[in-house]
Amino acid sequence: MKNFWLSLALALVSIVAGCAHTPPPPPSRAPLSADAVAQQYQAITPSLVAIQYVWESELGRHEIIGAGIVVGDDGLVMTSLGLLGQIPDEQMKDFKIIVPSDSGDPQELDAVFQGRDERTELAFVKTRDPQKWKSIKFIEQPPQVGDYVYSVGLMPKDAGYKSYFMSGIVATTLRGELPQIVVSGSLAAVDSPVFNAQGDAIGIVSFAPGQGLLLNNPTDSLSAVTNPPRLFTPTRFFQQSFSDLPTPENPVRIPWLGAMQLTGLTKDVAEYNNLKDQPAVQVGEVIHDTPADQAGLKQGDIIVKVNGAPLERGDQPEELPMILHRKLMRMKVGDQVVLSVLRHRGQPLEEIKITLAEQPPRPMTAKRYYADDLGFGVRDSVFIDTYARHLATDAKGVIVSVLRPQGSAESGGLRLGDMIQRMNGEVVGDVVDFQKSYEQLRKDKPKESVVLVVLREGREDTIRIEPPQ
Amino acid sequence: MVMSIGSVVADSAGEANGWPSVGFSAGTRSIETQALASNRVATFVLLAHPIGLRGRLRQPIADQKGLMRVFIISHFGGIALACLVAGPPVLARGSDQNRGDPFPSATPQAVVDVEARIFPAVVRLDVAQEIYSEGKRTVRRGIGSGVIIDDEGRILTNFHVAGRAAEIDVTLFNKERVPAHLVGDDHWTDLAVVQMDMDHIREKKIEFKHAELGESKTLITGQDVMAIGTPFGLARTMTLGIVSNNERTFYPEQMQIDEYETGNFSNWIQMDTPINPGNSGGPLVDLTGKVVGINTRGGGQNLNFAIPIDTAKEVIHQILASAKPDKKGRVDRSDLGIDLKPLQDLETFYDIDINRGVLVNSVDRNSPAERAGVLTQDILLDINDKPINVRFPEEIAAARKFIADLPIGSDVRLTLKRGKQTIHVTARTQKLQGAVGEEKEFKVWGVSVREVTRAYANEQQLDDDQGVVVTTLNPGYPAAKAELEPGDVIRSVNQEPITDLDEFKKLYDASVKAADPAVLLDIQRGRGRQSAVLKVTY
């Protein structure tokens, strides 16, 4: 707490100093003293909570607990998208925010899921009742190699959510699909806040392969301590969320072009097209009737500039499509974007003005139905499903999303990812239709087989599911 | 759902003084690789140790889901390819057999008599098969078995032993070696015909005998049969067992040899006669010494499979009839582009008589059936007014063969039941093509490519069959450096569209002749298109 005011005072001093046209004194790069560590630890701990929810899948209920950071005084908590994975929205239930306590049992507060933000890879949860908490404010401060960084995280549930302190030195910054700062030393568990010596929050600990995300991992509860993370994501990557927070009523709307299969130009292809040293991305496919298609973007076009500015550089050409994708994601639905594209070698660039539309719905927001008696679940077909199967976007059918092991459907030959096109000879519409006809069918003819025509790897197959007699 | 597992054991050291000395090098390693012509994963396990190989053969044949391992019993460079065949074994149906007829049984004397008759006709084949690897045409050496079928020195063996052979050496029963060449092959039935060099035989006054071909359709389950061949390079090995089933099918699994489809047009003889890698191509004989099958696949333990000699007789006839001095013989078949499915347990659903018709499970894009208006879920009742009935999986192969035997390019009348209606359509048959097209090497660019066939385009869900598909790349050469990958379809060279392999060859030759330092390729990878530039130094 004291340190917080100290840094605020320092910040004010530097503003005043700035006004007086004298260069601000560089922030101290010395490591924190033992006392200062204790102060920072004390100051940050009250802003660390755990987020808990139940994943209620067709096959069972699983409790999931991960780290959260208080970012709103009223009870707003953030975590990374990783904690939600690809779990369908409608299967995440009973959100709680767990406030650790030194003196007694952790306090469990009912909470409401606020939404995902794919642009910044964050997710937000808020307590049902308003709180008066101390929140953490993230600032953008590009760390320099050699800077000391500190991190406070929570131990797993088994260790009573006790907070702990880790420290390291900035080793380097990786540019790429997602900026990452490498630390020599250790950081606290994934999704813990990272601070500089002044106590400013400058990033969050990133997930890396081998790291645990859960605070209730039964197999290796202490993995974050025995195998501490060494990468963090700087604030500039996720700052955008705070100016445009998702709420249940207003989820984040992600814009898209309708251009797919983007590839970064290799050095040789760039040189062949007289684009030496210019990062560029080639359009592999333009989806029919999307903003890119309507604006005249073509398969094979090479994107050289976005809104007049050259593309950002990656460490590898493979990273360029994702860098461009992230740049576009940060714009708003309805915004106009101007792409400067090279269509033929040696010709001048063409400017293509595209008005961004909202990206099509994702599988995790699709409506679902579980046919418990025969052991299979389906969901509505969304863009990515018809796209992957080379079908028209409005092609009818539902996607098999879950199969009970050794259930009737599995034994009958149904497979995950099958697109059910017909049931007992009738064309299948969406999940709502499917559920209606399925339940009627099972009620009318409970002992008879259900015959499905599915699309699998480009071919139809006829599947007969025999109900348990 | 097909997975192949190739177990590669070190090549045997060859025969010295008649007895093989089988040498294996030490060390075991395994790699995983993506099968080129399919999106199914193929795992090649390199087992450079006899213990490892034997361990594999002893694996239980059924795991928890009824998976069964079946491997091709060649001993190729020594590659033994295996297929995982899923699904519970289908119930054996008794074929029409007259159990009253006596059949020759395996008395000790009968076994010895058979040995005397068949041994002089069984050969060991040392084969160098032409394959493509690292962007180049190369050979793969292996060992298999074969049986001499006439006094003109023709040998019947497996496609996976001698198909695509560039060089063949035959070792006769009397340990004489004779050079030979491939007459023709057929991957669909996994058969090949080889011709011994008769001038050599006459010049050296080498003696040989030929086997007599019997009949496979009269085989009775339980009947004694013997297998003769070269397991693990151990020439002239004879084993005894019984016919376990005379109409084994692996439906609905599609079996493969490398990437070639196989096993679609006939059922298998299943026997418990022990066979091993190297037995491939050798004869399965009854106790009169007549050939009733060609030993082809092993399932480990006591489940082994042979191609019926009745199938082989037709294939031999067609290969010999089509072979020319400068052209390999082959078997041409017709195709309609329909995936057939047995109607067992679906008769009520489709409201049809039991034992009538076959389900049209899927219709290939751009196929004769699609053009004729055949739809998925139609019931195909007749072809040219001849009934086509498939109730059980065992009947699928015969129905497919019926279509394959139609004249190529002929109009056929299909009678279909669609809902309550019976309709007639006319489809023009097309020559059957497999997924594996013709392949060539392009040395300067360091790449081998294949023609894109309609079957390949369908399997990979490509929009059309234009272009050529990259199969292998030579590391460090222009194509590899331009980051081409196996499976990429090259659609244009320097903006000239590629229709087929000949067109690609023409543009390649022109580019090499002009010493183009940079060649622009348009590549289709998955659904997307991208450019690649080959930087070529001459």
B129-165 per-position pLDDT tens digit: 999 999 999 999 999 999 999 999 999 999 999 999 9
Rounded-to-integer distance, Cα A204 and Cα A194, Å? 5
Strands B136-148 and B496-497: unpaired
CB B163 within 8 A of CB B185: yes
Token pair, residue A354, equals 């595209």
Rounded-to-integer distance, Cα B176 and Cα B104, Å? 32
Domain spans, chain B: 88-93+107-329, 334-431, 439-535
Banded model confidence at residue A25, pLDDT cuts 50, 70, 90: low
CATH superfamily of the A363-465 domain:
PDZ domain (2.30.42.10)
Query: Are B346 and A260 inside 8 Å of each other by CB?
Result: no
Closest CA of chain A from B534, distance in Å: 8
Q: What was the pLDDT predicted at B298?
A: 87
Token pair, residue A317, equals 């050409």
Q: How far apart are the first and last CA of chain A?
A: 68
Nearest to A371 by CA among A63, A59, A93, A92: A59
Interface test with A, best of B251, B529, B536 (most A CBs within 10 A): B529
Given a cut of 60, is residue B41 above it in pLDDT? no
CB A46 within 8 A of CB A134: yes
Write out residues 50-79 of B within 8 Å (CB-CB) of A: none
Given a cut of 80, is residue B4 above it in pLDDT? no
In chain B, which residues have their Cβ closer than 8 Å to the Cβ of A461?
341, 361-362
B438 vs A208, more confident: B438
Sequence letter at residue A18: G
Q: How much of chain A, in percent, has pLDDT values that exceed 90?
A: 78
Cα B96 versus chain centre, distance: 28
Query: Are A460 and B361 inside 8 Å of each other by CB?
Result: yes
In chain B, which residues have their Cβ closer than 8 Å to the Cβ of A284?
525, 527-530
Task: Read off the pLDDT of each residue in A327-331 and give the average, rounded to a whole number.
Answer: 92
pLDDT digits (tens, 9 = 90+) for A102-155: 888 899 999 999 999 999 999 999 999 999 999 999 999 988 999 999 999 999
Banded model confidence at residue A48, pLDDT cuts 50, 70, 90: very high
Sequence letter at residue B349: F
Of all helices (H) and strands (E), which one includes residue B30? strand B29-34
Given a cut of 60, is residue B227 above it in pLDDT? yes
Question: What are the Cα distances from residue B334, in Å, to B329, B364, B401, B427, B477?
Answer: 17, 14, 9, 12, 40
Nearest to B531 among A269, A424, A459 (CB): A269
Given a cut of 70, is residue A291 above it in pLDDT? yes
The residues of A whose Cβ lies within 8 A of any Cβ of B are: 260-263, 265-266, 268-269, 271-273, 282, 284-285, 299-300, 387, 390, 422, 424-425, 449, 451, 453, 457-462, 464
Given a cut of 60, is residue A73 above it in pLDDT? yes
Check if B387 contacts A (Cβ < 8 Å): no
Which residues, at least 6 apart from B345, have a Cβ–Cβ distance to it below 8 Å?
A449, A464
Task: Read off the pLDDT of each residue in B85-96 and give the average, rounded to a whole number.
Answer: 36
Check if B485 contacts A (Cβ < 8 Å): no
3-class secondary-structure state, position B404: helix
In chain A, which residues have their Cβ closer than 8 Å to the Cβ of B530?
261, 263, 282, 284
Token pair, residue B174, equals 């009397």
Residue of A nearest to B523 (CA): A284
Query: Are A284 and B529 inside 8 Å of each other by CB?
Result: yes
Query: Are A268 and B482 inside 8 Å of each other by CB?
Result: yes
* Within this chain, domains B88-93+107-329 and B439-535 share the same CATH topology: no
Q: What was the pLDDT predicted at A219?
A: 76
Helix/strand/coil (H/E/C) assignment for every residue in chain A: CHHHHHHHHHHHHHHHHHHCCCCCCCCCCCCCCHHHHHHHHHHHHHHEEEEEEEEEECCEEEEEEEEEEEEECCCEEEEEHHHCCCCCHHHEEEEEEEECCCCCCCEEEEEEEEEEECCCCEEEEEECCCCCCCCCCECCCCCCCCCEEEEEEECCHHHCCCEEEEEEEEEEEECCCCCEEEEEECCCCCCCEEECCCCCEEEEECCCCCCCCECCCCCCCCHHHHCCCCEEEEHHHHHHHHHCCCCCCCCCCCEECCEECCEECCHHHHHHCCCCCCCCEECCEECCCCHHHHHCCCCCCEEEEECCEECCCCCCHHHHHHHHHHHHHCCCCCCEEEEEEECCCCCCCEEEEEECEECCCCHHHCCEEEECCCCEEEEECCHHHHHHCCCCCCCCCEEEEEECCCCHHHHCCCCCCCEEEEECCEECCCHHHHHHHHHHHHHHCCCCCEEEEEEECCEEEEEEECCCC
Query: Are A282 and B339 inside 8 Å of each other by CB?
Result: no
Q: What was the pLDDT predicted at B6?
A: 29
Query: Are A300 and B518 inside 8 Å of each other by CB?
Result: no
Closest CA of chain A from B532, distance in Å: 6
Banded model confidence at residue B185, pLDDT cuts 50, 70, 90: very high
Query: Are A451 and B349 inside 8 Å of each other by CB?
Result: yes
When the pLDDT of each residue in chain A is averaged and rounded to a whole number, the result is 91
In chain B, which residues have their Cβ closer than 8 Å to the Cβ of A451?
346, 349
Closest CA of chain B from A462, distance in Å: 6
pLDDT digits (tens, 9 = 90+) for B293-308: 999 998 777 899 999 9
Sequence letter at residue A61: R
What CATH class does A2-45+135-243 carry?
A: mainly beta
Closest CA of chain A from B531, distance in Å: 7
Query: Are B341 and A285 inside 8 Å of each other by CB?
Result: no
Of all helices (H) and strands (E), which one includes residue B320? helix B309-322
Q: What was the pLDDT predicted at B69?
A: 53
Q: Which residue has the tokens 């707490």?
A: A1
Residue of B nearest to A299 (CA): B529
- The alpha-carbon radius of gyration of chain A (Å, integer) is 26
CB A403 within 8 A of CB A416: yes
In B351-507, the DSSP E strands lie at 358-363, 379-383, 386-387, 411-418, 421-428, 430-431, 439-442, 447-451, 468-473, 489-493, 496-497
Closest CA of chain B from A173, distance in Å: 28
Query: Are B346 and A451 inside 8 Å of each other by CB?
Result: yes
The single residue of B74, B216, B280, B334 carrying the catalytic annotation is: B280
Helix/strand/coil (H/E/C) assignment for every residue in B150-197: CCCCEEEECHHHHCCEEEEEEECCCCCEEEEEEEEEECCCCEEEEEEC
Given a cut of 70, is residue B20 above it in pLDDT? no
In chain B, which residues have their Cβ closer than 8 Å to the Cβ of A459?
339, 361-362, 364, 458
Nearest to A378 by CA among A411, A415, A425, A406: A415
Active-site annotation holds for B21? no
Q: What is the CATH number assigned to the segment(s) B439-535?
A: 2.30.42.10
Nearest to B221 by CA among B248, B201, B240: B248
Question: What are the Cα distances from residue A320, in Å, to A219, A258, A279, A291, B385?
Answer: 37, 17, 7, 21, 61
Question: What are the Cα distances from residue A461, in Å, to B65, B338, B361, B378, B386?
Answer: 21, 12, 6, 13, 25
Q: What was the pLDDT predicted at B11?
A: 25
Nearest to B361 among A265, A299, A461 (CB): A461
Query: Are B526 and A261 inside 8 Å of each other by CB?
Result: yes
Q: Sign of torsion, CA B53 B59 B61 B66? A: negative
Task: Read off the pLDDT of each residue in B82-98 and give the average, rounded to a whole number.
Answer: 37
Token pair, residue A170, equals 């900035």
* Within this chain, domains A2-45+135-243 and A46-127 share the same CATH topology: yes
The single residue of B11, B160, B185, B364 carrying the catalytic annotation is: B160
Which residues, at least 6 apart from B488, have a Cβ–Cβ distance to it below 8 Å?
B469, B470, B523, B524, B525
Phi-psi region of B53 (alpha: psi -120 to 50; beta: other; left: phi over 0): alpha
Query: Are B529 and A269 inside 8 Å of each other by CB?
Result: no
Q: How many Cβ contacts (< 8 angstroms) between chains A and B?
A: 88
Q: Say what the alpha-carbon torsion angle B246, B251, B256, B262 is, to the nearest 10 degrees.
A: 60
Residue of B nearest to A464 (CA): B346
Query: Are B530 and A464 inside 8 Å of each other by CB?
Result: no
Given a cut of 50, is residue B64 above it in pLDDT? no
A241 vs A158, more confident: A241
Task: Read off the pLDDT of each residue in A72-96 and give the average, rounded to a whole number.
Answer: 94
Domain spans, chain A: 2-45+135-243, 46-127, 255-358, 363-465
CATH architecture of A46-127: Beta Barrel (2.40)
Q: How much of chain B, in percent, has pLDDT values that exceed 90?
A: 73
Q: What was the pLDDT predicted at A212?
A: 82
Residue of A nearest to B528 (CA): A284
Query: Are A459 and B362 inside 8 Å of each other by CB?
Result: yes
Task: Read off the pLDDT of each residue in A261-269 and give the average, rounded to a whole number.
Answer: 94
Choice among A211-220, A379-388, B330-339 with the minimum mean pLDDT:
A211-220
For the domain made up of A255-358, give the CATH fold: Pdz3 Domain (2.30.42)
Active-site annotation holds for B187? no
CB B446 within 8 A of CB B479: yes
Strands B41-46 and B3-8: parallel
What CATH class does B88-93+107-329 carry?
A: mainly beta
Token pair, residue B475, equals 């590391």
Query: Are A284 and B376 inside 8 Å of each other by CB?
Result: no
In chain B, which residues have their Cβ closer than 8 Å to the Cβ of A297?
none
Rounded-to-integer distance, Cα B356 and Cα B164, Å? 41
Tell me the angle at which helices A2-19 and A34-44 cross, rounded to the nearest 10 degrees: 100
Active-site annotation holds for B101? no
Of all helices (H) and strands (E), which one includes residue B458? helix B454-459
Banded model confidence at residue B353, pLDDT cuts 50, 70, 90: confident
The string of DSSP codes covering B422-450 is: EEEEEEE-EE---S---EEEETTTTEEEE
CATH superfamily of the B334-431 domain:
PDZ domain (2.30.42.10)
Q: What was the pLDDT predicted at B351?
A: 87
